[in-house]
Amino acid sequence: MDKILIKGGNELKGEVNISGSKNSVLSILAATLLTDDECVIKNVPDLKDISTMCDILYSLGIKAEHDKDFITTKRLSKSKYVAPYDLVRQMRASICVLGPLLAKLGKAEVSLPGGCVIGPRPIDLHLKGLRALGADIDLSHGYIKAKCDKLKGAKVYLKGPFGSSVLGTANVMMAAVLAEGKTIIENAACEPEIVDLAKFLIKMGADIKGYGTYRIKIKGKKKLKGVEYNIIPDRIEAGTYMIAGAITNGKIKLLNCNVSHLGSVIDKLSKIGVGIETDTKGVLVFKKKDKLSSIDLVTSSYPGFPTDMQAQMMALMSVAEGTSVITERIYPERFLHISELNRMGADITLEGNSSIIRGVSKLSGAQVMASDLRASAALILAGLVAKGETIISRIYHLDRGYQDLEKKLSLLGADIKRIK
């Protein structure tokens, strides 16, 4: 099992290229199931989750060929409708093949996605939306068995106990674009990845209005065509590198990132003393004062502070001045990184779904274990600033969502390497 070894203390300097958005690619790959034509998706990062989705498409009769940073999808002779357990269990985002399969073939069998370390990952909103469009859905033997004659447009209300659902919105949107008549999705997710999916579907010929707002209106079409499409930059990767620049007291420039997707992150970082200057070429990030100030923040769905940036922000606040409180409203159990950060000398406690982070003067390198994609990123960030060596194990979590992380960081001057 690979590990990552970091010797902390280097200030990061230079430029870093932000890759395409993993979460946007995953639902857009699922959307290629809606057409018989070839599609070309560009600005695709080389990540484990994306190759898993390509394997799932292959099991459904679509050949998705990944060459450098683009993927070409081509329908093989026979369309299939069963997404197998051994692939779905690797990545719960596979659930978003359900909507397009129902829309295109009228049937789908998808293994029930398990939970993961950040908490139970229910899909009740997905099923509620698809049933509203007329799907007959049965859960048995760990599989979702869905079928329908022809999906019919309907009004769907997708608010759950933790707000809207990103992939729930994606699933219902992809089902509605080929349904008969009009669909209205109330309390839809507004994430940039949903906007990217909507733009992809519109380019295919779908009729979608209101995407990016809480109310999306869709008029079903008979057929959708294959398209070429450029994926948006990954806002979470970008936010992670912003914190890498700040935590190491460095000065780095992010290229190919879309600052309009990072409003709440930039707002909080600026408030604690991180300098963020945008010009035509990119975004310059540096520390404006010696000690960053503490801050209280709550994660929420877009455009609020993203839950996928919570762990990274906690690493930064662990060495800020004073006490910060970070409350997690999307995944209340998403705190496995606390114990690992405390092993590195952080002083963090948990009260329910609020973490209390008392800033310390320094962190010390230690052997730590990654637990999920974003928690692993937080441990990398802590290792960059900790005194001495940090060794991070189970880094396969990282490879799911960050392309060439140690290469990009060492190019910025970090003393980091992957060890077998």
Of 4, 123, 185, 227, the one binding ligand EPZ by CB under 6 A? 123
Q: Which stretch binds ligand EPZ (CB under 6 A): 80-88, 166-174, 282-290, 376-384?
A: 166-174
In the complex, least distance from residue 343 CB atom to ligand EPZ, rounded to whole angstroms: 22
Question: Among 84, 1, 130, 6, which residue's Cα sits nearest to residue 379?
Answer: 6
In the complex, least distance from residue 362 CB atom to ligand EPZ, rounded to whole angstroms: 28
Rg of the chain over Cα atoms, rounded to whole angstroms, equals 21
Using CA atoms of 255, 258, 261, 264 in order, give the dihedral in degrees to the nearest 10: 50
Cα–Cα distance, 414 to 132 (Å, whole number): 51
Q: Within 13 Å of residue 14, how many CA atoms lie on the same side as its CB?
A: 12
Q: Is residue 232 at the binding interface for ligand EPZ, with CB under 6 A as the rule?
A: no
Q: How many CB atoms lie within 10 A of CB 298?
A: 15
Please report the sign of the dihedral spanned by the C-alpha atoms of residue 202, residue 207, residue 209, residue 211: negative
Q: Is residue 162 at the binding interface for ligand EPZ, with CB under 6 A as the rule?
A: yes
Catalytic hit among 39, 54, 116, 190: 116
274-289 per-residue burial string, b: 16 or more CB within 10 A, e: under 16: bebeeeeebbbbbbee
Question: Among 138, 129, 308, which residue's Cα sits nearest to residue 216?
Answer: 129
In the complex, least distance from residue 164 CB atom to ligand EPZ, rounded to whole angstroms: 7
Considering the complex, state which of residue 9 and residue 122 has its C-beta at the smaller distance from ligand EPZ. 122
Residue that the structure tokens 């060439």 belong to: 404
In the complex, least distance from residue 120 CB atom to ligand EPZ, rounded to whole angstroms: 6
Considering the complex, state which of residue 306 and residue 345 has its C-beta at the smaller distance from ligand EPZ. 306
Q: Is residue 380 at the binding interface for ligand EPZ, with CB under 6 A as the rule?
A: no
Considering the complex, state which of residue 84 and residue 119 has its C-beta at the smaller distance from ligand EPZ. 119
Q: Do residues 380 and 408 make contact, with C-beta atoms less than 8 angstroms apart?
A: no
Considering the complex, state which of residue 71 and residue 320 has its C-beta at the smaller distance from ligand EPZ. 71
Residue window 16-45: x/- pattern of binding to ligand EPZ, with contact defined by CB under 6 A? -------x--x-------------------
- Which residues are bridge partners to 305 per DSSP? 299
| Known catalytic residue at 116 | yes
Residue 199 one-letter amino acid: K
Considering the complex, state which of residue 10 and residue 55 has its C-beta at the smaller distance from ligand EPZ. 55
Of 54, 93, 201, 274, the one binding ligand EPZ by CB under 6 A? 93
Q: Which stretch binds ligand EPZ (CB under 6 A): 39-47, 81-89, 154-162, 363-371?
A: 154-162
In the complex, least distance from residue 409 CB atom to ligand EPZ, rounded to whole angstroms: 19
Exposed, middle or buried, 420 (CB in 10 Å: 0-12/13-18/19+)? exposed
Q: Is residue 197 at the binding interface for ligand EPZ, with CB under 6 A as the rule?
A: no
Q: Is residue 126 at the binding interface for ligand EPZ, with CB under 6 A as the rule?
A: yes
Angstrom CA distances, 219 to 106, 152, 170, 178, 185, stand at 18, 10, 15, 8, 12
Q: Which stretch binds ligand EPZ (CB under 6 A): 76-84, 164-172, 275-283, 313-321?
A: 164-172
| Residues known to be catalytic | 116
Residues that bind ligand EPZ (CB under 6 A): 23, 26, 93, 121-126, 160-162, 165-168, 189, 193, 307-308, 330-331, 373-374, 401
